[in-house]
């Protein structure tokens, strides 16, 4: 379980300096992180350790993350901001 202090740190780490990533990560931490199960929370923390260039291509769906766990959390983030197909 992550404390509020941990979540504040994650929010700070989510500010990447690349607008495309910031607009996905910061609201995700603020609005969705607490509701994830523990494994997905860990996946998100691990995702923040990845290089910005990798994150960008995964989150713009130019490539899939090579690791299934990373791809899972990328998909969770994208599903949150992309409307479902009708």
**CA 48/CA 26 separation, integer angstroms:** 11
The answer to whether residue 45 sits within a structural domain is yes
The answer to whether residue 86 sits within a structural domain is no
Residues 16-40 have pLDDT tens digits of: 989 999 999 999 999 999 999 999 9
Number of domains present in the structure of the chain: 1
Domain that holds residue 60: 4-81
The answer to whether residue 24 sits within a structural domain is yes
Say if residues 70 and 58 touch (Cβ distance below 8 Å). yes
* pLDDT of residue 85 exceeding 60: no
Percent of the chain scored above 90 by pLDDT?
Answer: 91
| Count of C-beta atoms within a 10 Å radius of residue 74 | 22
**CA 44/CA 28 separation, integer angstroms:** 10
* pLDDT of residue 60 exceeding 60: yes
Regarding predicted confidence, which is higher, 11 or 83? 11
Supply the DSSP symbol for 86. -
Residue 1: per-residue pLDDT: 84
CATH of the domain at 52: 1.10.150.250
């Amino acid at each position: 379980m992550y404390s509020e202090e941990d979540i504040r740190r994650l929010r700070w780490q989510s500010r990447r300096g690349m607008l495309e990533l910031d607009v996905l990560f910061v609201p995700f931490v603020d609005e969705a992180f607490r509701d994830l199960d523990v494994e997905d929370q860990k996946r998100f923390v691990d995702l923040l350790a990845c290089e910005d260039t990798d994150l960008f291509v995964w989150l713009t769906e130019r490539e899939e993350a090579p690791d299934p766990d990373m791809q899972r959390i990328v998909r969770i983030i994208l599903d949150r901001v992309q409307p479902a197909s009708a």
